[in-house]
Structure 1
């Protein structure tokens, strides 16, 4: 491992959360950062860029948008600030609403990435709360 123990711990924790987000109980090599995958010459990093918004949405989906999902996502992304994660998610929500022409049900399905009724309901309630804050 090229970094310190804390970095390794965070990399493994993030890999586990990515696997959990896809309902897998086993890690794949692709879940690990490129610099520690077998076959990668030392010092050669094939950086795979994944926007923070994509990572946040994948983790929130994995946590099924539960009450603690923002906190869990913040921890999984290296103990980021919960407020930062919330603001990114709010942006994701407004982007989905615009793309769905403010159809809350359609935007909820796009964000949830699932047909699970509880998950859809949690996302729908969050979207409606964000929209109600815009109304005078």
Structure 2
């Protein structure tokens, strides 16, 4: 080409100048992220690792707990029975009850027979507490 001639439609000297600068996508910053984002991801994973499910955190031995009437008060349930349902407690330590109507509602009787005698038994098997740690005996 001659020295004074311009080329029509030629590419600019800086090819990136013709495009608008774009902001990075938010997902890119989370995945690649800097030191702060990596620290937040690590903290979140650490928190998840130490969180246990509620079922595993509150293990209850089978047969030792059940929902009972009277606003979940086992003392009232075991001492009174369910007079509204037509039966009352006679001796809760052995699970004995008696009907007070001709047709009692027996819905809560199996719970009474299972739970109330269990409440009379000591939780530790009747043995006194003997700690093995010498610091606990002071």
Higher RCO (Cα < 8 Å, 6 or more apart): 1
Of Structure 1 and Structure 2, the greater strand share is in: 2
User: Structure 2-normalised TM-score?
Assistant: 0.23
